[in-house]
Amino acid sequence: MLKTAVIGTDSPIGLAVVRELGERGVPVYAIGNRPDSIGGKSRHADRFFLRPRGPLAQWLPEFVTTHEIGAVMAISEQTLAELCALRGTLPGCLVIAPEAEKFALVLDKSATLDAARSVGIDVPASWQPLAPQNENTFPTSLTYPVAVKWSDPVAMIDRLSAASLPLEKVEYADNPEALQSILRKYDRIATWPMVQEYARGYGFGQMLHMHRGEATLKFQHRRLREWPPTGGISTCCTSVPLTEHNEQMMLSERLLRSIGWEGPAMVEYRHDPATGRYVLMEINGRFWGSIPLAYHCDANFAWETWRCAVGQAKLTVSRSPSRPRHRIARYMVPDTKHLLAQMKNALPMAEKLVLLSSFIFQFIDPAACYYVWSVRDPRPFLSDIRSIISQAARRGKPAPDGSPRIPPAASTLP
């Protein structure tokens, strides 16, 4: 088995990848940004290393040579974009990453929507501002509410940071005044996010692993809760049988085939059961945030990616579980934040009671599983508890030099 470096093991995504590979005997060298990286605490990580400062190109070649690494994988979009550029440049080491131009396409939401439209997938009406706007210059076709998001978020990270502006995953505007307020923030960098129609329904993801034009593994899930509640990361999601949404799965596979995609991807929709409409949100061309659910359902995308890349199986045969396990996966700290936020909202008391009872019942639901906790691999969970307690104890206390202490971000358990 090739020694495999996994870069970015601080999150539940990286932890799931470490577990999948390690359980199958792959020697995993976990690389994280913090000493308490949860993936590095897994019993499936052979060794753990703190990520050196600087771009991958500055330190990865030496790391690969020193530790005789045979394959490299990355978790975050930003790191994966760097890794794509290193394909073919590390002698004796397989870079498991998409082609740079394919990855750039799925990062660009405008290009993704064009590709989806060409294969018959419904896409949201979109408008890309190219100059400062006011209410009088907004397209008359806009209907509210609207979602405001960057066409290529990764490309905006440095530019926004230089202007001390946060990278917002998505913002919402209920009227022209609210939209103008959002767009005006970006006048000083002369670049504006894309404005899209708000798609009703729930978050629905179809996950596929593509190899040589065919899907070798499929899975799908429905989002039950998100943080923030207006749209963000999935904090609770449930598996959906592959016997459902068949026609949409065929369209998702056709979309990935049309762009020549190789490797794992999640095609993300908003699905409205009342109308039957599926509206494409994006293609996630990396291991996605809810991959722990797929892992607990035995749909092992990290292993499938590894084995296809190194040629370890009959690659044309579908690896989708014929009867995947039904599971509900929870990302506990954000899920708790979701509950508390909804309890404070002006919701009917009956609706609040339903939310609260569902939240509590899922602790005893035999189908429930967790992003971090695993009875077979408890150390990441225990490490995360220690980190959260330590951060809470330090919060607000001055650092040794007297300056305010800024706590690092927790991975958030379980």
Which residues have C-beta within 8 Å of that of residue 105, sequence separation ≥ 6? 111, 112, 115, 259
CB-side exposure of 120: number of CA atoms within 13 Å? 8
Q: What is the pLDDT at residue 320?
A: 54
Radius of gyration of the chain (CA): 22
Token pair 């932890």: residue: 15
pTM higher than 0.85, yes or no?
A: yes
Which fold is adopted by the domain 4-97? Answer: Rossmann fold (3.40.50)
Q: What is the pLDDT at residue 134?
A: 75
Q: What is the pLDDT at residue 324?
A: 65
How many other β-carbons are positioned within 10 Å of the β-carbon of residue 283?
Answer: 24
Q: What is the pLDDT at residue 100?
A: 96
Q: Which of 119, 367, 91 is nearest to 251 (CA)?
A: 119
For residue 256, which amino acid is it? L
C-alpha distance from residue 145 to each of 95, 128, 174, 232, 247 (Å): 42, 16, 4, 17, 29
Q: What is the pLDDT along the chain (414 residues), one digit of tens a residue?
A: 899 999 999 999 999 999 999 999 999 999 999 999 999 999 999 999 999 999 999 999 999 999 999 999 999 999 999 999 999 999 999 999 999 999 999 999 999 999 999 999 999 999 999 888 777 788 888 899 999 999 888 889 999 999 999 998 889 999 999 999 999 999 999 999 999 999 999 999 999 999 999 999 999 999 999 988 877 889 999 999 999 999 999 999 999 999 999 999 999 999 999 999 999 999 999 999 999 999 999 999 999 999 999 986 544 444 555 556 799 999 999 999 999 999 998 889 999 999 999 999 999 999 999 999 999 999 999 999 998 888 877 775 654 544 343 344 444 445
Cis peptide before 334 (omega within 30 of 0): no
Domain boundaries, the chain: 4-97, 99-122+201-376, 125-197
What angle (nearest 5°) sits at the alpha carbon of residue 127, between those of residues 126 and 128? 125
Q: What is the pLDDT at residue 86?
A: 97
Instruction: Give the helix ranges, DSSP H, for 185-266.
Output: 246-258
Which residues have C-beta within 8 Å of that of residue 293, sequence separation ≥ 6? 221, 237, 238, 239, 327, 328, 329, 369
H or E element that contains 173: strand 171-173
Enter the CATH code of domain 99-122+201-376: 3.30.470.20
Instruction: Give the helix ranges, DSSP H, for 259-290.
Output: none
